[in-house]
Structure 1
Amino acid sequence: MNSAEKFNLISFTGKMKILHLSWMAFFITFMVWYNFAPLLQALKESLGLTTEEIKTLLILNVAFTIPARVVIGMLTDKYGPRAVYSALLAICSIPCFMFALADTFIQAAIARFALGCIGAGFVVGIRLVSEWFPHNELGTAEGIYGGWGNFGSAAAAFTLPTVALMFGGDDGWRYAMGVTGLMSLLFSFVFYHNVRDTPKGSTYFRPKNLGAMEVTSTGDFFLLLVMKVPMYAALALLAWKLSPNGVGMLSAFVVNTIYGGLTALYLYDCLHVWKVNKSIFSEPVPEIHRYKFKQVAVLNVLYFATFGSELAVISMLPLFFSETFELTPVVAGMVASAYAFMNLMSRPGGGWLSDKFGRKPTLLILTAGLAIGYFAMGYIDGTWPLWLAVVAAMACSFFVQSGEGAVFAAVPLIKRRMTGQIAGMTGAYGNVGAVVYLTVLSLVDYSTFFLVISATAVLGFVTLLMMEEPSGQIAEVNEDGSVELIDVAKA
């Protein structure tokens, strides 16, 4: 590993080149994933969609990302980040072009559902960055990757309406969408030709099995099965939202078929977990090769509260400000964008704090701040000065996004060869959180919505007390059978 090479952000060689290309790839995936949010009005008028159909497209945009993050994580561990990220960028340009050419709601819905897959790109870079940076720089590097890449959604909001106007006419939005698809396709070639999975001389450790996550104790086996339930439950919740009880897009028969399919899929998933891990019931795993799955479970819960709330809040904040303070949509959008802007510094900040002061202490402080921040936002009303409401939202945003950075400062330190799978599951929990919070929002008022997020952050804080600070070394086995020890903390 190039640990001797200095951490220099303006450098474009060695590990810094990998970091820059990784966040650029992530930036493009998020730009494509959220390319239609700023163009909703033009899209609605052009295709003659109802408000309910627009809301349905918003739901479909995040639905496929939940299973996709898990699957892409597994593929990354097996085939390497270079091949997987390049393929994802190229393949996902197809549904992007399909969406740009859609003439009916059904065509748009199918394309949007498929585009949810590009939201899984984040997971690939987590593994790639962890291969190139030592443990004492890893939090900062992952934070920059996550924070700067995440800014793709804000960049889409600022630039795509202008691009649509430049092309002009009723089809301006189609050209703007098409441009993002073209960026994704072209960058897939740039990425493939400029990235290596590991520094020269380093081994890329692969999991023994692709089918399911490995665990190293019987207790962890059952905990893994429990932690898979919310991912399927979130997909069932999405189906319910599309049912006659929700927006009425799907018939009761179709929704019940989806419920049955999800149940069957979960049981099939459990069978795979059993096949991969059945040996632990007959012979214990040697101590040197063990890891604690509870570390993964804790990070899942924290990402549910951090990234889940970010996705939900970003989509409702403009409307919240516009209704609470009687602002025009443009002003409300600009005020709300302050929340997303924090990503540029907050997420790298959370990673840097983790490198400096330890993973667990940093997460405890940030999660406490998160709970207090959302609690305060629950009491914002029209009597507050606007500037104070904006300060409260930005302060809350700092804790949310620093928390995300701190979570992914810990993810690569659990088990190197499974980093993609662990990142995939944790990332999927962020989307599960978004689905749950957006469903809560559709049932309650704004104040209750913020207080519910605050309560889940308190739950995250309690869960966090069970986490152990990463220490010592991770043992991985080379292809020749020799054992390599990878540092995860200062000796």
Structure 2
Amino acid sequence: MELQNKATSLWRNFFNVRMVQIRTFHMTWFAFFACFFAWFGIAPMMIIVREELGLTKSQVGWTIIASVAVTVFARFFIGWFCDRVGPRIAYTSLLLVGSLPVAGIGLANSFESFLIFRLLIGVIGASFVITQYHTTVMFAPNVVGTANATSAGWGNLGGGVTQIVMPLIFTGFIVGFGFTDAAAWRASMVLVGGVTFGIGIAYFFLTQDAPDGNFKDLRAQGKMQSKDKVTGAYFAAMADYRVWLMFVIYGACFGIELLVNGSIALYFVDYFDFFKGMPLARAAVTAGMIAGLFGLMNIFARTLGGIFGDNFAALWGLKGRTTWLFIALLGEGLALMLFSQMPILVLAIPTLILFSLFTQMSEGATYSVVPFVNKKALGAVAGVVGAGGNAGAVLGGFLLKSEAYNSNWDDAYLTIGMIVTCVSVLALFIRFSPEQEAEERALFEKASIDGLQMHADQANAALARSVAIVEDYNRTHPDNKA
């Protein structure tokens, strides 16, 4: 059953927050931004934490794995939860519960306790699934790829901003309040946890599940399938081979982004002579600033992936979306291999940016395909594919801490780049029936026409208002007509 009154445009109504679709779009990306910021808030301060807790390189590897491992299971669950209770309640619940371990990690005083909190924080990464779910139910086929990619990309931006901002907050507690290094990183995480809790409350009051209301009301009106059908649709989606191909594909793009977010600051400090002999606090800030460039590409890169997905669809239908996914993923794999071989920092930075561009375009391309795989189990597809991202990060984490690569992360990055290049071919095996291709092309064209009609109506209304203003002026100023 297709939800009605989805928005057919994003950019032309971008600041019209009175439209529930636009207001929800802004809340979803901002909530995801906060979650991503909290999720990886500790990463740029790991140089300090490693020193204080006396962590070995292997133990650091385990914390990287822990930060993304539990998210695999959380994303499987959260997709089903969205289908049952709606994205509004799902997001609110996740933000409130997830804020607790974010703040609680400040209590860690050993490797074991730090690892447990790092594991629990990973639950908040399930926010991505809700973000993609919520924008999908709010936007029509002609812009859903762009809306999904932009909301996710701007949310992922939190992973780059946290690399820059958290060291500054940490420094602020030291300089402004006289905290020790140990107290400063703990206070920084408590602050982030409190902000996350507040955003959870705001999400409940500022959004609704769908353009025409909340799921509970729509089910009562017979406009949505009942709750008892959700589980059956979930398992039907799980049996679709395309879902699992995309599970692997998303592991090769978003999974790699997660892995890089959790390791890149340490990689710069450990592998480039620029940082040799630099005080730890200064090294943390400097490496965080450089590492932040990777995440900052989310300002536009993931959106580009969605825009190209929608444009390829306009030309070649659903097959166009999967073809673009292959191209973006291939570029990511080649760029990562190139980055891994850069011997000096001045060459590593531009190749990191190139790698980031293709990685995030691949993510946007993936979720320009997701809404069309199974509309009756959108949560299941979004959740399973999203979980693939974290599964990829977990496997990459094991690679970083393995005996073969434990001292050679550059070689590990090279191997991962080769794997991504091979995985890109899987995108060409995601097929749709001729009937669905025809149906989706018709829906795409209808949404495009509706969008043009809406803009024409808005233009006519604006012209009518202008004419009315001129006529009113002429009536009130007969001696000075406009």
Give me the TM-score of the superposition, normalised by structure 1.
0.75
Structure that is richer in helix per residue: 2
Corresponding position: 1:116 with 2:122: yes
Determine the C-alpha separation between the residues in 2 that align with 1:469 and 1:211: 22
What's the counterpart of residue 304 of structure 1? 251
Which residue of structure 1 lines up, in the alignment, with residue 138 of structure 2? 132
Which runs of structure 2 are paired with 1:412-431 in the superposition (5 Å)? Answer: 412-431=371-390
The reply on whether 1:164 has 2:165 as its aligned counterpart is no
CA gap 1:165/1:455 in 2 versus in 1, 3 angstroms:
closer
> 2:89 is aligned with what amino acid?
A
Return the alpha-carbon distance in structure 2 between the equivalents of residues 103 and 320 of structure 1.
24
Q: Sort the Cα spacing of 1:305 and 1:140 in 2 relative to 1 into closer, same or farther, 3 A.
A: same
> Compared with structure 1, are the counterparts of its residues 373 and 84 closer, same or farther at alpha carbon in structure 2 (3 Å cutoff)?
same
Which structure's relative contact order is higher, taking Cα pairs within 8 Å and 6+ residues apart? Answer: 2
Cα distance change, pair 399–9 in 1 and its aligned pair in 2 (3 A): same
Compare 205-214 and 6-15 and name the one that shifted more. 205-214
Moved over 6 A (4+): 484-487
Determine the structure 2 residue equivalent to 1:357.
312
Change (3 A) 1:337 1:81: same
Question: Counterpart in 1 of 2:200?
Answer: 188
Aligned counterpart, 2:429 = 466
Instruction: Write the deviation string for residues 400-431 of structure 1: whole angstroms up to 9, x where unpaired.
Output: 11000110111112222311111111111111
Measure the CA separation in 2 of the matches of 1:25 and 1:471.
38
Listed as ranges, the gaps of 5+ residues in structure 2 are 276-282, 314-320, 447-482
Higher radius of gyration, 1 or 2: 2
Q: 1:377 corresponds to which residue?
A: 339
Q: 1:400 aligns with which of 345, 359, 362?
A: 359
- Contact 1:471 / 1:489 at 8 angstroms: preserved in 2? no
Q: Establish whether residue 62 from structure 1 lines up as the match of residue 33 from structure 2.
A: no
- Letter of the 1:99 partner, please give it: I
Counterpart pick for 2:103 among 97, 103, 112: 97
The answer as to whether partners of 1:348 and 1:405 remain within 8 angstroms in 2 is: yes
Over 3 Å counting, the alpha-carbon distance change for 1:45 and 1:394 in structure 2 is closer
What's 1:213 paired with? 234
Quick check: 2:253–2:362 contact (8 Å CA) kept in 1? yes
Quick one: which of 30, 33, 37 aligns to 2:36? Answer: 30
Distance 1:351 1:428 in 2: 20
Residue 318 of structure 2 is aligned to residue 313 of structure 1: no
Displacement after TM superposition at 1:6 (Å):
5.6
* Stretch moving more, 47-56 or 296-305: 47-56
The DSSP-based 3-state class of the residue aligned with 2:117 is: helix
Between 353-362 and 2-11, the greater mean CA deviation after superposition: 2-11
Give CA-to-partner distance per residue, 1:216-265, whole Å, 9 cap, x none.
Answer: 7xxxx7xx4xxxxxxxxxxxxxxxxxxxxxxxxxxxxxxxxxxxxxxxxx
> Structure 2 vs 1, CA of residues 413 and 50 (structure 1 numbering), >3 Å: closer, same or farther?
same
Residue 450 in structure 1 maps to residue 462 in structure 2: no
Using a 3 Å threshold, how does the CA distance of structure 1 residues 189 and 331 change in structure 2: closer, same or farther?
A: closer
Q: For residue 429 of structure 2, give the secondary structure of its aligned residue in structure 1.
A: coil
One-letter amino acid of the structure 1 residue matched with residue 84 of structure 2 = K
- Over 3 Å counting, the alpha-carbon distance change for 1:458 and 1:167 in structure 2 is closer
Q: After the TM superposition, which of the residue ranges 161-170 and 197-206 deviates more from structure 2?
A: 197-206
Distance in structure 2 (CA, Å) of the matches to 1:46 and 1:368:
41
Distance verdict in 2 for CA 1:462–1:333, change over 3 Å: same
Structure 1 residues 312 and 135, CA gap change in structure 2 (3 angstroms): same
Q: Helix, strand or coil: the match of 1:92?
A: helix
Displacement of 1:182 in angstroms is 0.9
Tell me, in whole angstroms, the C-alpha distance in 1 between the residues paired with 2:186 and 2:432: 49
> By how many angstroms is 1:331 displaced?
4.1
CA distance in 2: counterparts of 1:37 and 1:427, whole angstroms:
21
Q: CA deviation at 1:180?
A: 1.1
Partner residue, 2:395: 436
Distance in 2 (alpha carbons) for counterparts of 1:64 and 1:416:
26
Distance 1:378 1:44 in 2: 24
The correspondence of residues 39-78 of structure 1 with structure 2, limited to 5 A, is 39-44=45-50, 47=53, 52-78=58-84
Aligned-partner SS, 2:430? coil
Could you tell me which residue of structure 2 aligns to residue 327 of structure 1? 274
- In 2, Cα distance between the equivalents of 1:389 and 1:189? 41
Answer whether contact 1:472 1:489 (CA < 8 A) is retained: no
Residue aligning to 2:293 = 338
The Cα shift of 1:41 comes to 3.7
Change (3 A) 1:5 1:58: closer
The answer to which of 328-337 and 298-307 deviates more is 328-337
Mapped partners of 1:105, 1:450: distance in 2: 26
- SS of the aligned residue for 1:213 comes to helix
Instruction: Compute the displacement of 1:210 (Å).
Output: 3.0
Q: In the alignment, which of 343, 348, 359 is matched to residue 303 of structure 2?
A: 348
For the Cα contact (< 8 Å) 2:334–2:418, is it kept in 1?
Answer: no
Per the normalisation by structure 2, the TM-score is 0.77
The whole-number CA distance in structure 2 between the counterparts of 1:127 and 1:399 is 23
1:470–1:489 contact (8 Å) kept in structure 2:
no
How many residues of Structure 1 are paired with residues of Structure 2 in the alignment?
A: 406
Contact map agreement 2:323 2:427 (CA 8 A) in 1: no
Q: Indicate conservation of the 8 Å contact 2:301/2:360, yes or no.
A: yes
Contact 1:353-1:362 at 8 Å conserved across structures: yes
- The more displaced of 319-328 and 57-66 is 319-328
Partners of 1:414 and 1:470 within 8 A in 2: no
Aligned with residue 14 of structure 2, among 9, 13, 20: 9
Counterpart residue identity of residue 13, structure 1: R
Matching of residues 246-285 of structure 1 within 5 Å: none
Mapping 1:217-236, distance limit 5 Å = 224=239
Cα distance in 2 for residues equivalent to 1:49 and 1:441: 15
Give the drift of 1:5.
5.8
- Separation in 2 of the partners of 1:153 and 1:336? 10
Do the aligned residues in 2 keep the contact of 1:60 with 1:109 (CA within 8 Å)? yes
Question: CA offset at residue 46 of structure 1?
Answer: 5.0
Aligned to 2:157: 151
User: Alpha-carbon deviations, 1:18-65, whole Å to 9, x = none?
Assistant: 100001111111111112112224434555655554443332221211
